[in-house]
Amino acid sequence: MLEGKAVIGETDMLQTMQQNALSLAGKALDTFDVTDSTEIARFIKKEFDESYGPGWQCIVGRDFGSFVTHCHGCFIHFCIGSLAILLFRGTADREMEVNQFVPLEPL
């Protein structure tokens, strides 16, 4: 399995969900060619939808930027080699966004 080689960049997931994401990424990379980003993303997204409910989004690639709104506790960005994986559960609940906002202290 490749999850031992994964480097987590950012996450707010519980440890068990993180391990599941890494494990699924390893399975996807064992099943699909590393150049088939769409199938890898589809596999991980469908598995998370089944395990944790609908609304998960997965982006897989070597070079991408992102700015997403996600549910608290439902975000992970990690790399396996040069392949980056962003997995999150989206939200459009403006009230939830406002309640989660914490202003930064001025420098």
Tens of pLDDT, residue by residue over 25-62, are: 999 999 999 999 999 999 999 999 999 999 999 999 99
**β-strand partners of 61:** 84
In angstroms, the Cα distances linking 22 to 1, 30, 104 are 9, 12, 31
Instruction: State the greatest distance between any 2 C-alpha atoms of the chain, in Å, as a whole number.
Output: 48
- Which is more confidently placed, 88 or 90? 88
pLDDT of the residue at 66: 87
Q: Kindly report the pTM of this predicted structure.
A: 0.80
Quote the tokens at residue 12.
């707010």
| Cα gap 2→26, rounded to integer Å | 5
**Domains of the chain, start order:** 10-89 (3.30.740.10)
